[in-house]
Structures are given as C-alpha cells and as structure tokens.
C-alpha cells in the first residue's frame, strides 16, 4: 500500500559503523583473555563506547518523539508554500485507528524484541567469560598450593633442598625442587626465602655451591604428596652445571649468561605449616633475608628480560 499524501515514508535509522566497532571490541576482549589483561581492558572499553553510540542511534527516533522534536513531514503543498504543517489532531488521519487492545505498532515491538534478544544473547556469552576471567582476582585459590609440612622442619638461617609434587594428579612428572631458607620473623610474621632451581639462562637445574647433608634428610607426607627436605650449606651460592651461571644466596646473578635473578615461589603460612604458591620472576634483589626488597614480575621464560629496554624485544606471553 502506498503511503497517503502527507504521510511521508517511514523514517529508518541511518547506516552506522557502531555495530562494527562493537564487534571489534568483543574480538579484542576475547584475544585479550589469551594475550594480556590490558588488551582485554581496551576491548571492553571499545565495546562499551561503541555499544552506547549504537544504542543511541537506534533509539534516536523514539527519544525525539518523546520530547516532541520529531520533525513533521508535510505534504507537497506545505513544502511549496513554506506553511507550517497541520497538527496531527486537526488534520486527516494518515492511517486507521488501531484496533482495541493494540497499543504499539508492530514495527516498534519487533525492533524492541530484536534489541532485547540481542542483549540477552550478548549477556549470556559475555558474562561467563568475564566471570571466569576476573574471579581469580577477588579470591585466592588455595587448591593450587603445595603443603611442605610444619615450619618447625625449617631451622632459622639454614637452607634446605625441598623436593615436592607440584600437581599430585600428574605424578612424578610434576616433581619440583626449591631452595628454602627460614629468615626468622618480620613484623611478627614468619619470613622465608624460596628460590626456584630453574636457571634464568636456559632453564637447567641449578645446584648449591656447597655440601648437602643427606644424613639429616627429613621426609614428610602431606596432603599434596611426599616432601623431602635435605639441609645444605651453599656458602658460594648456587651454580648452573650446564653453562656456568652463578647466583648468590638471594638468587641474584653474579656471573655467567643468565639475564636475571632466580625465580621465586610465593609462600603462605597455613596453621603453622609452610605452603608454596605460584612462581614469579625477579630482576634483582636488594638486601638479604627478611629485609630483602623484591620487585616481582609476571613469570617469564628462561633467557627473557623482565626489566629495562630489553623486555620490549620479547613477544607478549599468555597470562599464567
């Protein structure tokens, strides 16, 4: 049916690039969840901005109608004479009155239903992804900790070689080694130095530059598997037998090809027992023992710089 004279053609929203921008933002979020959190944050910002502009364009007609600024469309006569359009309540009806019970035009209902359904689908897809991504930030995951036994097994001021299962479900393939020293107390809380034995050059296992006392070995059964503690006296620090890398007792590089200090383990005290968490990278340690000042970095691979200009020459690593 052709529109009646003076009725005009229905007003359609103009073409817009906002949906494309929103789609790009969603892609950036998904890529950022794999690459890095800053990229995900940028994607979220792009999605919010372009989504807002998209909704504003789509709902522009309805907002103008609500505030009475919808431009009236006059017939050919009013266009030629420049006369003001005839008010709707005085002119002839452009279309028959709606049947009883019909309150909204069908097109308005379909547009609203489409937008609502799209929002629901976007929420169903996005909320679980965002929830899984940010949940670990607000809660500490105790299930990934390794129980090493009571802190009384670690004498103050002495290093022990601790071997343990990182993931008991994987068996011996997940066995790790750490060099642990009880530093005493700091602000009424136990302090420990926990060094990874992974060389920062190519990942070879470093060894203590000093004697190991096998006759004083302690074996402990914990909820996360068997733990072995062997006292050692690394007077000369630690050394890598593969390529000659050398570290002091704080894990700082002193000689050889390593590019940074030894990685460290997070540690926690749970009911008088020592528990290890995730590993993190360290560039350099200032001070020693309980008074050491450590600037931690996200865990990086062997041979990778974590500070200075060199760090920019390495590709982005997935969140660990």
Answer with the residue of higher pLDDT: 86 or 283.
283
Q: Any idea what the Cα angle at residue 216 is, between residues 213 and 222, rounded to 5°?
A: 120
Residues 6 or more apart whose CB falls under 8 angstroms from that of 73 comprise 6, 7, 8, 85
Q: Which residue has the tokens 């452009």?
A: 94
pLDDT band at 311 (very low <50, low <70, confident <90, very high): low
Average pLDDT along the chain? 79
Residues 6 or more apart whose CB falls under 8 angstroms from that of 227 comprise 147, 148, 149, 162, 163, 164, 219, 220, 221
- Give which of 192, 113, 199, 189 is closest to 149, Cα–Cα: 192
Q: What residues does CATH 2.102.10.10 cover in the chain?
A: 143-313
Neighbours of 173 (CB within 10 A): 8
pLDDT band at 248 (very low <50, low <70, confident <90, very high): very high
Name the percent of the chain in helix, strand, coil, to the closest 5: 35, 25, 40
What's the pTM? Answer: 0.59
Q: Any idea what the Cα angle at residue 62 is, between residues 17 and 69, rounded to 5°?
A: 105
Does position 230 have pLDDT exceeding 70, yes or no? yes
pLDDT digits (tens, 9 = 90+) for 107-132: 666 667 677 767 777 766 666 666 65
User: What is the structure's pLDDT at 81?
Assistant: 56
User: Which CATH class for the 143-313 domain?
Assistant: mainly beta
User: What is the structure's pLDDT at 23?
Assistant: 79
User: What is the structure's pLDDT at 251?
Assistant: 95
Signed CA dihedral, 34, 37, 42, 48: sign only: positive
pLDDT digits (tens, 9 = 90+) for 145-161: 999 999 999 999 999 99
pLDDT digits (tens, 9 = 90+) for 175-188: 999 999 999 998 88
Residues 6 or more apart whose CB falls under 8 angstroms from that of 265 comprise 178, 194, 195, 196, 276, 277, 278, 279
Paired residues of 208 in beta bridges: 238
Q: 39 is written with which tokens?
A: 């990229």
User: What is the structure's pLDDT at 164?
Assistant: 95
265 phi and psi angles, rounded to 5 deg: -100, 140
User: What is the structure's pLDDT at 144?
Assistant: 79
According to DSSP, residue 76 is labeled H
On whether the CB atoms of residues 267 and 275 are closer than 8 A, the answer is: yes
Does position 209 have pLDDT exceeding 60, yes or no? yes
């Amino acid at each position: 049916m052709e529109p009646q004279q003076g009725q005009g053609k229905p007003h359609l929203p103009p073409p817009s690039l906002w949906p494309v921008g929103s789609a790009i933002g969603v892609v950036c979020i998904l890529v950022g969840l794999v690459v890095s959190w800053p990229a995900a944050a940028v994607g979220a910002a792009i999605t919010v901005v372009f989504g807002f502009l998209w909704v504003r364009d789509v709902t522009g007609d309805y907002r103008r109608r609500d505030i009475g600024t919808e431009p009236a469309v006059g017939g050919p006569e009013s266009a030629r004479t420049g006369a003001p359009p005839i008010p709707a309540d005085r002119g002839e009806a452009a279309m028959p009155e709606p049947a009883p019970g019909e309150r909204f035009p069908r097109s308005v209902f379909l547009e609203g239903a489409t937008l609502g359904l799209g929002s629901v689908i976007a929420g169903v897809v996005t909320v679980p992804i965002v929830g899984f991504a940010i949940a670990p930030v607000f809660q500490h995951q105790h299930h990934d900790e390794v129980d090493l036994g009571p802190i009384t097994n670690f004498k103050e001021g002495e290093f022990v070689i601790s071997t343990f299962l990182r993931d008991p479900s994987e068996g011996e393939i997940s066995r790790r080694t750490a060099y642990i020293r009880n530093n005493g107390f700091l602000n009424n809380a136990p302090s420990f130095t926990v060094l990874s034995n992974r060389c920062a050059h190519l990942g070879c296992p470093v060894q203590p530059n000093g004697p190991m006392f096998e006759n004083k070995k302690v074996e402990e059964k914990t909820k996360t598997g068997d733990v072995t503690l062997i006292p050692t006296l690394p007077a000369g620090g630690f050394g890598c037998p593969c390529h000659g890398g050398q570290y002091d007792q704080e894990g700082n590089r002193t000689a050889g090809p390593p590019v940074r200090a030894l990685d460290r383990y997070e540690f926690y005290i749970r009911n008088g027992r020592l528990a290890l968490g995730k590993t993190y990278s360290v560039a350099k340690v200032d001070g020693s023992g309980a008074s050491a000042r450590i600037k931690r970095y996200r865990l990086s691979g062997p041979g990778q710089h974590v500070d200075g200009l060199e760090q920019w020459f390495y590709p982005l690593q997935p969140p660990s």
